[in-house]
Amino acid sequence: MFDSSSDPIVNIPIAIPFDEADQVDHDALSRNVERWLKTPAQGFLVGSQTGEEWFLSEAEKLAAARTVGQTLGQQQVLLGGIDCPSITETLRRAEAFAEAGAGMVRIRFPRGESTIESYFKQVLARCPVPVLLMHQPEPASFGLAGRPAASPEVLAAVTNSDNVFGYVTDHDLRFESRVRDLVAPEKRFWICNGSIILQGTLIGCNGTTTAFSNIWPEALRSLLKLGMEGRFEEAWPLQKQIQKIDSIMLPWLAAGVKASLKLLGFEGMRPRNPVAPMPSEEVAKLETAMRDAGLLDH
């Protein structure tokens, strides 16, 4: 579990590597995680849109979680991603992730406001590990805000419940600033996107879980720290570099993240069939932006 001195926290929603037979490459996964362990990242999530969660069976997610957990050190936390409207099934998945070594689960708010409070009242009371809540009503729409899952009052009331570690915003910062005002200070409040890290700190965010965490976790932690300290002018050039890379990468979703990671030398960075790789002309633009940011050798 993250200790009280961990903030700001960068969590990586892991891009899952696949081999040429379109199977999860566990050896590559271990080596990729070992590379990330050399960065300031502290959380590692298996089961996210960045990790192509809808292309993985439950058995594959749990096997990947075990591989990641075996590679992590004492200072890092394994998280399991859950997106399920059923209370019974959510709890079963949470127990399975806990048995696989997860110290926390990330649960998306169900899409249906009328059931949210009842859902979490039962899930949180029985979940075997703490919960990170994710407000992501349209998870496949990277970088775009969806219709809110519920009112700020409902989202905050759930976040303030026992067994909740914290909350991850969606992209509508006006809306999320209202949620932040209602959430207890001791609950973590994380921004969802690398291009709005500084803006997130302005509304009180103290961590992030975002596709961009795969690419440059050091920069995200630096931005969070600078923003939390009010050093915005100093931080702005770095935020602009991230925005430039993100604007090229993110429209291609997980394929774009994997193209960035492949340029950095990570293994197994092919999207799962039938998703096509990022087009070569877009990869060339991405490479230039990453080189300009100092991420690649000139």
Does any domain span residue 2?
no
Does any domain span residue 251?
no
Helix 280-292 crosses helix 253-263 at what angle (to 10 degrees)? Answer: 60
DSSP H or E segment with residue 13: strand 9-13
Does any domain span residue 252?
no
**What residue numbers bound the domain in which 51 lies?**
9-231
Domain count, the chain: 1
For residue 98, the domain's CATH number is: 3.20.20.70
The Cβ of residue 17 has, within 10 Å, a number of other Cβ atoms equal to 23
Does any domain span residue 290?
no
pTM over 0.85: yes
Does any domain span residue 292?
no
Q: What is the pLDDT of residues 138-191, one digit of tens each?
A: 887 777 788 999 999 999 999 999 999 999 999 999 999 999 999 999 999 999
Q: What is the pLDDT of residues 240-265, one digit of tens each?
A: 999 999 999 999 999 999 999 999 99
Does any domain span residue 189?
yes
Strand order of the sheet with strand 131-134?
Answer: 188-190, 164-168, 131-134, 104-108, 77-82, 43-46, 9-13, 207-209
Per-residue confidence at 57, pLDDT binned at 50, 70, 90? Answer: very high
Q: Quote the pLDDT of residue 142.
A: 75
Q: What is the DSSP letter of 82?
A: E
Encoded tokens for 167: 């909350």
Does any domain span residue 298?
no
Sort 114 into a burial class: Cβ within 10 Å, 0-12 / 13-18 / 19+: exposed
Encoded tokens for 266: 């990570």
Does any domain span residue 139?
yes
Per-residue confidence at 52, pLDDT binned at 50, 70, 90? Answer: very high
